[in-house]
Amino acid sequence: MRLVVIPGDGIGPETVSVAVKALEKAAQQSEAVLELVHEIAGLDSLAQHGISVRPELIKTIEAADGLMMGPMTTHQLNDEAKGRINPSMFFRRHFDLYANIRPARTFEGAPIRVKPFDLVVVRENSEGFYADRNMVSGGSEMLVTDDVVVSLRRITRACCERIARRAFELAMTRRKKVTIVHKANVLKIGDGMFVQTCEAVAREFPDVTVDSVIVDAMMALVVRQPERFDVVVTTNMFGDILSDLTAELAGSLGMAASINAADHFAMAQAAHGSAPDIAGQNIANPFSQIGSAAMLLSWYSQRTGKPEYLEVAQRLEAAMVKTIREGKVTRDMGGNLGTDAVGRAFLANL
Ligand code: ATP
């Protein structure tokens, strides 16, 4: 498996370097062959090359099996004409990474605000309310007058169908339950189509139990009883918001692993941002990035039918569980270790 690695901005270099060591060591212990290609994008690339995503980088990634990328700042990368392309947005669009899979689960030994739970938010990632990916040309957020803004939300049956299918397939490997989260009582046509399409796909999976919850009620329900959910499928922005909540309920946003997947390519990137408030201080939680790396290997194993990559993912997961149980965690998880020390404890357990 050839994997391009990009450190990203903010805390990215700190967390990605731990994830790289983790991947290298776990792969050495198995039959898996992992080639890591180190690249840069974002602010680093802007400073060195005057453009945040180089055309050669795109070719390198196209020739690879996956991408592991740190978080990217959204603030300074917002003018494509000046080479300030947001790499996260760019790769999501370029590779049509339509399925954003964001698991959230509690760990023994970590501070828990609720009952133990284990769920996955399956977030549609290619349309919805996101002004940067809705249109072939131009944005879908418009300033009509100085005081009037119109934001368009795109929902298409094909996109609803493919994300629903990923959610039901995932549920078949878990506790066989899918919850559709929506706002079809108000967004009757768009979310109506989303719910209808999910229910149509559900008929192909008779073993999976299905229910649907309105998004605002979901915010209360998931806090009160997160253990009742297994796979949660939802549209882009609802999934973005809900998954930060579920990550924090599980312990910390610093545990928020995620992959952005298409059918033949996937990118591992933690669900949180670049956390500029804690960057460079050696206090960022590296488990979001290690968890994302494990998800990418597991996705690759499933796609190619090569079990050795799943084994690497399982080793990473097991070492993470053990390290957290021992209380060797960063302060966002109630611990007192730095990023490096958590990395060392993790590698020892691996
Ligand atoms: P950006 O501008 O890139 O979106 P942000 O600060 O607005 O960044 P996040 O990066 O998601 O948004 O951070 C939200 C909060 O969660 C911050 O207080 C940050 O310090 C914290 N946080 C995010 N990631 C981690 C991590 N890996 N470890 C510890 N704390 C984290």
Report d(CA 199, CA 255) in Å as an integer: 31
Q: Tell me which of 243, 248, 253, 289 to substitute to probe ligand 1's pocket, judged by most ligand atoms within 8 Å of the beta carbon.
A: 253
What's the token pair of residue 96? 């049509």
pTM: 0.94
Q: What does the pLDDT look like over 112-157, one tens digit per residue?
A: 889 999 999 999 999 998 777 778 788 888 999 999 999 999 999 9
What's the token pair of residue 182? 């929506």
The pLDDT value recorded for residue 135 is 81
What's the token pair of residue 87? 């790499």
State the helix-helix crossing angle for 307-325 and 287-304, rounded to 10 degrees: 160
Q: What residues have CB less than 8 Å from 121, skipping those under 6 apart?
A: 101, 102, 103, 104, 232, 234, 239, 242, 243, 246
The pLDDT value recorded for residue 111 is 81
Q: Whose CA is nearest to atom 31 of ligand 1?
A: 254
**Chain-centre distance for alpha carbon 150:** 28
The pLDDT value recorded for residue 137 is 81
Report d(CA 218, CA 242) in Å as an integer: 8
Show the low-confidence residues of the chain (pLDDT under 50).
Answer: none
Contact between 288 and 14 (Cβ < 8 Å): no
The pLDDT value recorded for residue 208 is 98
73 lines ligand 1 (CB under 6 A): yes
The pLDDT value recorded for residue 112 is 80
7 lines ligand 1 (CB under 6 A): no
Q: What residues have CB less than 8 Å from 34, skipping those under 6 apart?
A: 1, 3, 23, 24, 27, 312
**Chain-centre distance for alpha carbon 303:** 18
What's the token pair of residue 194? 């989303």
Residue 168: Cβ-neighbour burial (10 angstroms; 0-12, 13-18, 19+): buried
Q: How many residues does the chain have?
A: 350
Q: What does the pLDDT look like over 7-18, one tens digit per residue?
A: 999 999 999 999
Q: What is the DSSP string of 157-199?
A: HHHHHHHHHHHHHHHHTTTSEEEEEE-TTTSTTHHHHHHHHHH
Q: Whose CA is nearest to atom 30 of ligand 1?
A: 254
Q: Whose CA is nearest to atom 17 of ligand 1?
A: 275
What's the token pair of residue 135? 């249109």
Report d(CA 202, CA 130) in Å as an integer: 26
Atom of ligand 1 nearest to the CA of 332: 29
271 lines ligand 1 (CB under 6 A): no
Whole-Å CA distances, 216 to 148, 184, 222, 242, 315? 26, 11, 10, 10, 37
The pLDDT value recorded for residue 203 is 98
339 lines ligand 1 (CB under 6 A): no
**H or E element that contains 141:** strand 141-145
**Chain-centre distance for alpha carbon 333:** 19
Q: Tell me which of 75, 278, 331, 342 to substitute to probe ligand 1's pocket, judged by most ligand atoms within 8 Å of the beta carbon.
A: 278
The pLDDT value recorded for residue 140 is 86
The pLDDT value recorded for residue 168 is 98
SS3 261: strand
Q: What is the DSSP string of 229-258?
A: -SEEEE-HHHHHHHHHHHHHHTT-GGG---
Residue 158: Cβ-neighbour burial (10 angstroms; 0-12, 13-18, 19+): exposed
The pLDDT value recorded for residue 77 is 83
DSSP 8-state symbol, 304: H
